[in-house]
Amino acid sequence: MADPRRLGAAFLAACAGHGRRRAVVAGGDALDYARFGALVRARARTLDALLGPDTADVGVHAANSADYLVSYYALLVAGRLPFLIDATFGAAELDGIRRGCGVPAFLHDADRPFPLGGTPRAVPGSALALTVLPGGRGDAPAPGPDTATCRFTSGTTGAPKCLEFTADAVTAAARTWAAGTGLGPADRVLCLAGFTNGLAFNTSLLPVFTVGAELHLYQGLPTSGGITRAVARAAATRLVAFPLAYRLLAAAPRPEAAAFATVTRAVSAAAVLDPEVRRTFEARYGVRIADYYGIAETGPCTYERDPERTEGLGTALPGVSVRTVDLPTGEREVRVRTDSMAAGYLNAPGALAERLDPDGYYRTGDLGRIEDGRLFVTGRLGGPINLAGRKIDPAEVERALLDLDGITDAAVFADTDDNGETVLHAALAGTGRLGRAEVVDACRARLAPFKVPGRVTFLPAIPRSAVGKARTTELRRLVRDARAADPTPHGLENPA
């Protein structure tokens, strides 16, 4: 049995075992497990008819919805290979996926034009449409024979890298999370992350259904009021969210602690949570936040089980080994080995293997230490910037900026805003033809929203070494001086 079908069979077995228990709630709609399984089987037959025998690889480029879940599992049941694609990716990223991974077909939200054009076909019984583009796979590498699901992370080349996961890896991640965090059938999980992100993929997409729990989908822009109402409607026992959500809730002018009375675990991931945000949230809502450390390539790694702990990222989950290794620089790098690791990058053959050390541990690029079995991450070796769980390659953003008329040099780096959150900062040199607003608008037209710089500073020149690398210390000093000298706003905070 092909790996997608094996993963689909595991899902259908869970549906059969949990019967009339409620599985998915989205807005006013709810599906029990029996109905969920029936819809998946029917959608699999529909997609089989639409795709025909020759189209196996299908991108899913849509916002979270019950329809998304039905379509994803239907592709698995039908033996197709789903590629989970960030809904904010635009034409450039999608075209890179089409060419680099050989994905010819895309399921997407029917109420919005598909960025690559083509002729969309309605999917009967669905709010999604199907667009099949001409050209087939071309000369793109073929997925491994055991690959069951693919999803993407931005790598150091700037193009989204396609991670291949086997059925064993996906089910191992689900088992690890359920066993390591005590997830059970009585849980009602409200997840604010997109299904393409590791936070949702590892904590919600399969684990919830494996144990017979309920998955509640958050829809709309995240606001403190919206999140509070969603928690109350779901009577959620678990809230899974990025640090931004907890900052919004901590800053709410009128916090409604009663809405959180059912919440036993609030899970935070993707970046270290600001200690003051943690203290304020926990004091206001009476809910402890448990930190979680996971990596796109390896799946879930650590989780904080002790509610009295307020520092660190917890201890290793079942089936996970975490260690730190001394580097020639005197720093210590965090390395992990898990049962849920990706098999490779489809569009960068051999690149993932290069990140493994001789013992099979993944070189995370994170700096840290382990104390009494608990992981503390203290920084990064370099490379992609982690912005609310999304990895952004500065080189990709710099290339887009250098395409703008009047920009002669650019350096993009991680900065912090007035709330202590990570923000993308672009330092630019050029002829002065463009203003900050024009730069941001031009980036919005070229890049996914989360890649648009939140701050822009103009300098006479970007300080560089003899080999052309930006001199970071001097660059940051020049940026500070420029911002201090010019009282006008330097860019737009959170432009997306």
pLDDT tens-digit profile, the chain (496 residues): 567 899 999 999 999 999 999 999 998 889 999 999 999 999 999 999 999 998 999 999 999 999 999 999 999 999 999 999 998 888 888 998 999 999 999 999 999 899 999 999 999 999 999 999 987 777 899 999 999 999 997 543 346 789 999 999 999 999 999 999 999 999 999 999 889 988 899 899 899 999 999 999 998 888 999 999 999 999 999 999 988 889 899 999 999 999 999 999 999 876 667 788 889 999 999 999 988 898 889 999 999 888 777 788 899 999 999 999 998 777 789 999 999 999 999 999 999 999 999 999 999 988 889 999 999 987 777 666 777 777 787 878 888 898 888 898 899 988 877 776 788 999 999 877 788 889 999 999 888 888 999 999 999 999 875 445 677 778 888 998 888 877 554 443 333 3
Nearest to 317 by CA among 447, 458, 172: 172
> Rounded distance, CA 134 to CA 124, Å?
22
CA torsion sign, 474 to 478 to 479 to 481?
A: positive
- Which CATH architecture describes the domain 3-154? 3-Layer(aba) Sandwich (3.40)
Q: Give backbone dihedrals phi and psi of 17, rounded to 5 degrees, phi first.
A: -75, -25
User: Position of tokens 């075209």?
Assistant: 95
- Which CATH architecture describes the domain 168-385? 3-Layer(aba) Sandwich (3.40)
> Rounded distance, CA 208 to CA 23, Å?
8
Nearest to 334 by CA among 386, 371, 289: 371
> Rounded distance, CA 170 to CA 173, Å?
5
Other beta carbons within 10 Å of 476: 16
pLDDT at 466: 46
Sequence ranges of the chain with CATH classification 3.40.50.980: 3-154
- Which CATH architecture describes the domain 393-485? 2-Layer Sandwich (3.30)
Sequence ranges of the chain with CATH classification 3.30.300.30: 393-485
Sequence ranges of the chain with CATH classification 3.40.50.12780: 168-385
| C-alpha separations of 143 from 3, 52, 157, 218, 299 in Å | 11, 19, 20, 32, 19
pLDDT at 494: 34
| C-alpha separations of 286 from 108, 244, 262, 269, 292 in Å | 40, 18, 10, 19, 19
pLDDT at 242: 84
pLDDT at 373: 92
Nearest to 422 by CA among 453, 444, 399, 445: 453
The 8-class DSSP code of residue 470 comes to B
